[in-house]
Every structure is written in C-alpha cells, then in structure tokens.
Structure 1
Amino acid sequence: MSSSQKNLVIARSVVDQGLSIAQAAAKFGVSRQWVHQLVQRYRSGGVAAVLPQSKAPKSRPQTTTETVRARVIGLRQTLVANGADAGPETIAWHLAREGFHVPSTSTIQRILRAAGLVVAQPKKRPKSSYIRFQAELPNGCWQADITYWFLVDGTRVEILDFLDDHSRLLLTIQAKALWTSADVVAVMDQLITTYGPPAATLTDNGMVFTARFTSRPGAKNGFEKLLAAHHIQQRNGAPSHPQTQGKIERFHQTLKRWLGARSLPASLEQLQMLLDTFATWYNTERPHRAINRRTPAQAYTALPKATPNTTHDTEYRTRTDRVDNNGKVTLRYASKIRHLGIGSAHRGKQVLMLIHNDHVTISDAATGEILTEYILDATKDYQKPTWRKPLSE
C-alpha cells in the first residue's frame, strides 16, 4: 500500500481512535516526531494534508528549439520503424541520453500531434483507472505465459516467457511447436538453478501451469509439484480475467510490435535467434517507464533477491462501514468478502476500520472508542474478534 495510506492510518489512529503519539509510533514502526507531524497536518488540513507533495517546478521557462523538435520527430519515426516503444516518455529518455534539452512529455506529445504522428484514441482506457501492483524485490514474483507467432509458411508456433514482476527482467523466452507440462517444468527448473527460487509465481490457468480445472480435483501437475518442492507460492489469475497477469500481457504487446517490424522467420531456429536478440535489447537497452526508465537488468541487480521465505508487502488501509442488523460489517481480504462480528448491541453504528496486514481495529466513527480487534483468518468467512470492548464499560 502507498505511503500516503500508511500516513492516513497513523494519523487517524491518534485523532480518531485515541492512541498516544508514543503508542502509534511503536505500533507502526515510525518515529514519534513523524507521528506528531502527521497528526498536526491531518488536523489542520484533513486527508489531503498527509498526501505526498509534488516537488515539480511550477513552470519551465525554457522554450523548445527547432533542433529539439526535429529530433523528437526523427526519434518517433525511427522507434516506430524498429518496432520499439515510441511514446513521449521514451522519446524524452532518448533525448536525455543524446544530450538534448528535454521538454516535458506534454510538449513532446504536442510536437507529435502537430506533425501528424499521433492517432487519437478517445476510447482508450486511461492509465489512472488501472490498479497497479509490483513485487517489492526481484524474485518476489515471476509471471509466466505462452503466446504465439507465425513462421513464413503460416505455421503457428508457441513462445514461452518468464518475467520478473519487480524488475521486468525477461528471465527466458523460448519457442517450440507445442509446449508441454514437462517442457515447462524443465525450463522452470533451469531458471531456479540460474536465478534462485522466487517467492511466488503468477500465471493463468493453462494446463501446463495448473491442474486445478482438470477432471481430477486436487491433482497436481509437474509445475505445481516443482513449486511445492521449493516452497514457492503459486498464484493463478481468475478464469477469463487476463488483467491479473497485466505485466506479461503488456510485455507481449512489446514483443509482437518488435517482431512485427521484422520479416517472418522461416524456421523455429530463426525465430529463436530473433527472440534471443529481442531479449538482449529488452533487458539491457530498452528503458522501462514502470521502473524509472532503468533497464530491467539494472533494476534486477539493484536490490537483494526475495526468496520463498520473504515476508509479503505490508498493507495499510482504512474503511468505514455501518454495522448491519446482525451486528456485522464486511471487509475484502485475500480477494474475498469477509464478515466481521462486532455485536448486535452496535447495530446501525457507523464504524472506522484501520487495516494493518491481517490486523483490523474497529472503532466508533463518532467517538473514536475502540470496539473490537481482529486477526483475520483467510480460510474463514466469518471473523470473530480477538478482543471486544466489554458492554459494561
């Protein structure tokens, strides 16, 4: 969860739930000075006051020269012809590498529009509408999938790829006429030998990755058994919901744009040579917007590697709800709606929930009085409180 959400949880634990500065600092692992600052900002300015403030300058007096304009247009044409990303941010990165003054991405966008090099897409979903997640460390999660390409004679072949979720490093990309479960197991085993076991994997529900939808309930295929042997957590997207594997789906767009700028290969061997060239370019030469314009190779080597025993990312969030007639409120946890029992004595009451990983503290939204505390159990729907305020108080 973002730092702004953590800031809000800390501030509201003091202002709305009555914790002392020292108690909040100890509970959330921050300094008392920081808690004091957050409380002051929250009391004076509300939620907006604890959000990170932009440090960007209010204006840029530099003007865009004709030399820069011409280079923007030239880069766009070259990148498109090579099948590479050619958006304003990518162009800005190349301008900086070449020593040019870099205008804002909105200025680059205007230059491209004026030159007729941008096709309007008014129905395209805005980036702000996507929910973004990313593993905290390299090897925190590997995404894998199989896509396809064609040979010059029209033969359709399959391409298997593994992508590191944190760094976007392309761990491997290989072509075969048809991938079997045994083939995928062999590739995964080799990757574990090369890079070490990841903490988790994320794939779709293809039969090479999971047997969960076969006619044998509870059966495990070779890939699942290999993960279990290394204590690797297996994650699978929901059926017919490819957005869960968004990074590798987006990667396939980059791959096919690059392949589409080149002639179709005559054989699997020629296709593999193309894929090897692509992998080198993608990992070591292409700037990636999602990792601060570093290359995946740079991002992968910048931090220590997660392991199957790595602790998961800390979660902080808040939620308000009204206690129903049965004395319960609801909360989504581990992708499912859970029912938290507060007590029928509080029916109709507006409550505030502060969520910290699997710990939930519920208080009266009007008074800040803490009513119940929970440690959530992902195997159960109904959650009983670990502590409840006595009714006599």
Structure 2
Amino acid sequence: MTYSRNRAVVLAIVNSGMSVKDAATHFGISTRWAKTLLQRFRTGGLEALQPRSTRPLTNPNKTPEHIRETIVELRHQLLRDGLDAGAESIYDRLPENTRPSTSTIWRILKTSNEITPQPQKRPRSSWHRFQAPAPNSLWQSDFTHWPLADSTDTEIISWLDDHSRYLTHISAHPRITGHIVVDTFLEATDQHGLPAATLTDNGLVYTTRLAGGRTNNQQPNPFEQLLADLNIEQKNGHPGKPTTQGKIERLHSTLKKWLQAQPPALTIEDLQQQLHDFRTIYNTKRKHRAINRQTPHQTYTATPKDQPTMHLHNAHWRVRFDRVDSYGKITLRYAGKLKHLGIGRAHNRQRIILLVNGPNAIAINKTTGEIIAEYTIDPTKNYQPKTRTPHKKRGTMTR
C-alpha cells in the first residue's frame, strides 16, 4: 500500500503536472516527503520508491564479529569433543570480560544456523524435578552397553549421587553380575561414605524382591543383603518408567555422546581409562544447569553428607562400612581430628560395620554379625583401645 501511494504521488507530479505542494495536500503527506519521493524517483526510478528499513545503519550494541566467530568455533569444538555445546556451556568457556549473555549466544547460534529447532520438546516449565536434599542422601545406579573397537560388547556400571550429580563410580566389565554390583558399590563407599538410600531399576543384579514376587523361601541377593546389613533404604523405580532414574539415564546419554567422539577402545582396560577421563571432566569441569551452573564436585562438597542410621540401645547410631588395615586398626574422625581405633590384628583386612553415637562406637564383624569391639573415645588421645570385647549377635538391634 505504501509503495502504491508513493508511486501515485510521483506520477501525479511528473505526468499530470501537479505541483509538489498540491500533490502533498491531495495525498495527505508533507511537502518535504513529496520532494523526497520525487528526488528518489529521479535518482533510481520507480523501484526507489519502495519502503526502506528504519533500522539504523550501525548498532553500537552488536556483538563484535570476532566474538561471534569465537562462539561458533567453540560450538564446533565442543561437538567434536562430544561435550555439551549449548549456550551455557559456551558461556562458561568465554573470557569473562568479553562474553555476552547466554540469550545473546543462543541468538548468534540460531542466526548462524547452528541450532536445529526441536518443537517436539516439552517446555522446561513443565518439568517436575526431584532432587535429594543432601549429598549421599540417595545414590542412583544403572548399567549400559558399549562396544569395543572389534564390536565386543561391554557393560558400564555407574553410581551417581542424586543431590549433586557427582559420579562416585564408573567402570566397564564384560558383564554386570550381582557381585560386581556389590564390589563397585563398596569401592564407591570406601571413597565417599555410605548413602542413606539407593535407587535402581528392578534388574535381578539389584533386587529379587520385585522380580516375579519373592516367595517365603527366596533369599535376598547379595546387594539387597548388604543394604539390609547397613540399614540403607533400597528404592526401586516402577517397571516401564525409566524416568524415575532420569539422572542416571541422562548421565549415560552424556557418556555415550562423549565416547563417540573418542578413538574406539581396543580393550576393556583402554575403555576404563576413557571412563576415568570422562569422570574427571564430568565431576570437575562440566558445569550443570540443574545445580546452578556448578560442577558436581562443587555441589557434592559444599554441604555435609547424609548417612544411614541404626536404632540400638534406644539411640540412633550413624553407620559406617569400613575395612580393618593390616595393623588391625581403623580411623574415625571425631571432633575434627582423626582417631585410630584398635580392632586387633586377628581382624586385619576384614570388612566391618562401625556404629557411632557421639563418643561411643561399636565395631561389628560384617560376616558373622558379632560385636567385636566397643569404644568410648577419649578426645585427648590419638589411639583408642577397646573398652571391652563382647560377642553379641546383631539380633539385639532394632531397625
């Protein structure tokens, strides 16, 4: 419509002999605008009468071209490395004094055709995220498949802290068995302490409780028995609903994306080294949106850890799972200092359950269930001898 009017104004002046002032009055425009249209016509013909953009020729707030190029290059590099390549990941890697906002980075990626629209995705506002209240309140576990260079299948098991997304353990095996579940869990607890609860699917390596219904004569598997011994709550997702274990599923998706960008592993040992590298990147370098753009390590170490408890002698006792060293001792942090508790050389290298309530501690043989030592900790001494050595079955405990 604007072009038609501009054309009519000019033609009225040029072909009909109408004065500029009369044409302006007739078409309801200013005399100055009529003169401008006439000048454009004489310079560029009728095409010059097309409406022009009011956009300024320069934009002082526009992101400099070299930063735009850096953003696109970072996007390509992150994709090649198998890492997250979204706006927030790019933002974290730009120099602080030059980086634009994440929304600006996203617009730059979009205008550069670096982002594929995904309208099928649910909006983030519709998500209902659960997060455990503290580190070690809940550990998730699952395993996934990954091929070696010769297509030999392997299985990778992971243990993930629900609160912080901290990867407490990841390892590759020819096949995941019930004993591997127990061994990897104990390896993780040796380094990071016991969780108060676990969350897994209903696979037989994790539970027989929900596999076809347990009969009165059916015994718990080794992992279930271990959790019962340590008073750790066992949680299992609903069959057919993998979103219950969404964090561990997302972890494995991130892992596979990263592994695809690495040279194919020739052996399980090579794959294990790759998993070690991935764990370092995931825990200490990769910031996570769900935990306020912190790394899992930062979140895991920011607050005190949760732990299982046991009710004994009308009191709640903290539960630890430990191994006696070759000298017959274990260590316990009390009042901010490490104390050495004497168990006895007869128990060296054995795994024990240690119950702690204030200055009182009880050591229990994991295999037999016998109380092998009791302590009242003296804060002025480094070495803590046994107060007494009773032999009681854990049947006296209530959970």
Once the two structures are superposed, what CA deviation does each residue of 1:79-111 show, in whole Å capped at 9, x if it has no partner?
A: 11100001111111222xx22433232221111
Displacement after TM superposition at 1:229 (Å)? 1.0
Q: Is the counterpart of residue 154 in structure 1 residue 151 in structure 2?
A: yes
Matches of 1:273 and 1:117, distance apart in 2: 32
Query: 1:250-289 maps to which residues of 2 (within 5 A)?
Result: 250-289=250-289
Matches of 1:112 and 1:212, distance apart in 2: 50
Q: Is the counterpart of residue 74 in structure 1 residue 73 in structure 2?
A: yes
Q: Is the counterpart of residue 101 in structure 1 residue 98 in structure 2?
A: yes
Matches of 2:247 and 2:100, distance apart in 1: 28
Are 1:139 and 1:306, in contact at CA under 8 Å, matched by a contact in 2? yes
Aligned counterpart, 2:231: 231
Are 1:68 and 1:100, in contact at CA under 8 Å, matched by a contact in 2? no
Query: 1:1-393 maps to which residues of 2 (within 5 A)?
Result: 63-95=62-94, 98-215=95-212, 217=214, 219-309=219-309
Letter in 2 for 1:110: R
Are 1:140 and 1:198, in contact at CA under 8 Å, matched by a contact in 2? yes
Once the two structures are superposed, what CA deviation does each residue of 1:225-276 show, in whole Å capped at 9, x if it has no partner?
A: 1111111111111001000001111111110110011121111111111111
Are 2:202 and 2:211, in contact at CA under 8 Å, matched by a contact in 1? no
Displacement after TM superposition at 1:173 (Å)? 0.5
Which structure carries more relative contact order (alpha carbon 8 Å, separation 6+)?
Answer: 1
Are 1:200 and 1:232, in contact at CA under 8 Å, matched by a contact in 2? yes
Stretch of structure 1 that moved more, 290-299 or 255-264: 290-299
Structure 1 regions of 5+ residues with no counterpart? Answer: 1-60, 311-393
Calculate the aligned-residue CA RMSD, in Å: 1.7
Displacement after TM superposition at 1:63 (Å)? 4.3
SS for the counterpart of 1:266 is: coil
SS for the counterpart of 2:297 is: helix
Q: 1:215 to 1:113 in 2, by over 3 A?
A: closer
Matches of 1:308 and 1:64, distance apart in 2: 52
TM-score with structure 2 length normalisation? 0.60
Q: 1:221 to 1:115 in 2, by over 3 A?
A: same
Aligned counterpart, 2:39: none
Are 1:173 and 1:275, in contact at CA under 8 Å, matched by a contact in 2? yes
Q: 1:100 to 1:80 in 2, by over 3 A?
A: farther
Runs ≥4 in structure 1, deviation > 4 angstroms?
Answer: none
Matches of 2:284 and 2:139, distance apart in 1: 19
Are 2:161 and 2:167, in contact at CA under 8 Å, matched by a contact in 1? yes
Matches of 2:236 and 2:211, distance apart in 1: 15
SS for the counterpart of 1:235 is: strand
Structure 2 regions of 5+ residues with no counterpart? Answer: 1-59, 310-315, 317-399
Letter in 1 for 2:107: R
Letter in 2 for 1:140: S
Matches of 2:261 and 2:290, distance apart in 1: 24
SS for the counterpart of 2:235 is: strand
Pairs aligned (count): 248
SS for the counterpart of 1:160 is: strand
SS for the counterpart of 2:144 is: strand
Letter in 1 for 2:112: A
Displacement after TM superposition at 1:130 (Å)? 1.9
Aligned counterpart, 1:320: none
Give me the identity figure in percent.
Answer: 49
SS for the counterpart of 2:67 is: helix
Stretch of structure 1 that moved more, 129-138 or 236-245: 129-138
Letter in 2 for 1:242: P
Letter in 2 for 1:117: E
Letter in 2 for 1:228: A
Aligned counterpart, 2:30: none
SS for the counterpart of 1:149 is: strand
Once the two structures are superposed, what CA deviation does each residue of 1:113-146 show, in whole Å capped at 9, x if it has no partner?
A: 1111111111122222221011111101101000
Matches of 1:105 and 1:136, distance apart in 2: 28
Matches of 2:251 and 2:148, distance apart in 1: 21
Are 1:90 and 1:289, in contact at CA under 8 Å, matched by a contact in 2? no
Matches of 1:76 and 1:269, distance apart in 2: 31
